[in-house]
A and B are shown apart, each in its own frame.
Chain A
Amino acid sequence: MNCRRCKSLLSDYLDARLDAARRTDLEVHVADCGACAEELRMMQKLSAALGAEPAAAAPAGLAARLTRGALGAPTAAELPSFLDRWIPVAWPAAAASAVAATLLLLVLGRTGGVPSLVEEDPVAAVASDDADEDDALVILAMEEE
């Protein structure tokens, strides 16, 4: 066994996962190789030091708390959906906005609109006038209704 092979097996050796033949080969190599012996010694010490650390034991009563928490949690069906949560808030605001926009259109339609600060293209102006007329007709139609 060479050093490279030996080092690749050290972890399995530490956990006693090598078969008898490979374990013997490794031990023979380590007995003659200072570098590998040193590597093994360090791994054993580190393993022992980590093994002395307290294992993660679940705190007392954790399972009961987790169970209660899970059983008491609302299911997806019980939770209000996004729309359910937002429509009660958003609907009045949307309705108010629509009313305000309609009133603004009415006011602008009767006063001739806001004067433009930009010199208007005559063709566009005609189109714009047409549009205004159309809007006025729509608004009138609404009023008649």
Chain B
Amino acid sequence: MRAENNGNDLELLASRAISGDQAAFGKLVERTQRVTYPLALRLVGGQAEAEDVLQDAYIRVWQGLSKLRDRGAVLGWICRIVRNVAVDRVRYEQRRPSGGDALIEYIASDDPGPEQAIADAEARCALLDLVDQLKQKHRVVLLLREVDGMSYEEIAAALGCKIGTVESRLHRARKQLADKVKRQMRAQAKESA
């Protein structure tokens, strides 16, 4: 996913929405949800929860737009509201089943054959299970980057942090995920021995 949010366009929509233009507000929602939906989803975990978070957030956006000082920073402001609403929600429970063996086969495999576990739901579940074990700040950056395809700049805007922070969190997330996979592989090898 690539968010195509031109700051000037958003600023214009924000200005029109502040003056009561509801259609402009609708456009603002439509344009910003390309970033806020993945953000909410990665923060709370489930689609229904993400939609609830966004509904609360956009109510606050509409009611608080007149207080927005820097209209050019409207996306960052909306993302901050989304984050604030999301952190009030209960972290989502891990429902995914474990599929450690399939993941290990996938990681260990060099054959790009049809059997390769990239399409194997079990392996995917196992991988996502390990991703879930990462700290939230690392997990969110990893998912926004790897799964949602957001650029470093977009992630920094969504999370309200510097690009350097995105870099370091992403580095840690990848390193820790790789370490977890290696630990799982070693444990599996021990069990088999």
Contacts and interface: CB of A to CB of B under 8 A. Distances in A.
B174 A58 contact: no
Interface stretch (A63-71, A100-108, A122-130): A63-71
Interface stretch (A40-48, A91-99, A112-120): A40-48
Contact of B123 (A49, A62, A66): A49
Nearest to B54: A66
A15 B59 CA distance: 36
B33 A50 contact: no
Contacts of B1: 55-57
Interface size class of A (residues with CB under 8 A): 35 or more
Contact of A46 (B42, B167, B178): B178
A12 B148 CA distance: 18
A50 B58 CA distance: 29
Interface size class of B (residues with CB under 8 A): 35 or more
B25 A46 contact: no
Contacts of B131: 50
Chain A CB within 10 Å, residue with most, of B22, B50, B119, B174? B174
A76 B148 CA distance: 35
A133 interface: no
B174 A69 contact: no
A58 B33 contact: yes
Contact of A45 (B38, B58, B107, B148): B107
Chain B CB within 10 Å, residue with most, of A55, A65, A66, A76? A66
Contacts, number: 120
B142 A66 contact: no
A62 B107 contact: no
B106 A73 contact: no
A38 to B, nearest CB: 9
Given A11-B174, A51-B147, A69 B59 contact: yes
Nearest to B126: A49
Contact of B124 (A53, A55, A56, A73): A53
Nearest to B110: A41
B89 interface: no
17 contacts: A8-B171, A42-B107, A43-B178, A45-B107, A46-B174, A49-B124, A50-B147, A53-B124, A53-B128, A57-B37, A59-B47, A66-B33, A66-B54, A66-B58, A67-B22, A67-B25, A70-B55
